[in-house]
Amino acid sequence: MEIAQYNYLRECELEAALAEETRADLAEGRLVQESEEAHVSFVIKSPLTNVTKLSLIEPFSYDTI
């Protein structure tokens, strides 16, 4: 087996494991659906995050050049 094929199959196996874990999380109700604003608020308030204020940058546009 070529190394490229081995790496491809390894990636497939990792993706399959992630998909299986995600399906289990869905079945057990361990996922949350929330708005972007609610998620950002949660991240800012999290004790694991050292963020107190977010500043949003305008998206880049070639029209401004």
Query: pTM for the whole thing?
Result: 0.51
- C-alpha angle 27/29/13, rounded to 5°? 50
Dihedrals phi, psi of 64, to nearest 5 degrees:
-85, -5
pLDDT in tens, 3-60: 999 999 999 999 999 999 999 998 999 888 889 888 888 887 877 666 555 565 666 6
Instruction: Give me the amino acid identity at 46.
Output: S
User: What type of residue sits at position 49?
Assistant: T
Beta carbons of 54 and 40 less than 8 angstroms apart: yes
Separation of alpha carbons 12 and 1, rounded Å: 16
Domain segments of the chain as ranges: 3-64
Q: Which long-range contacts (CB under 8 A, 24 or more apart) does 5-11 make?
A: none
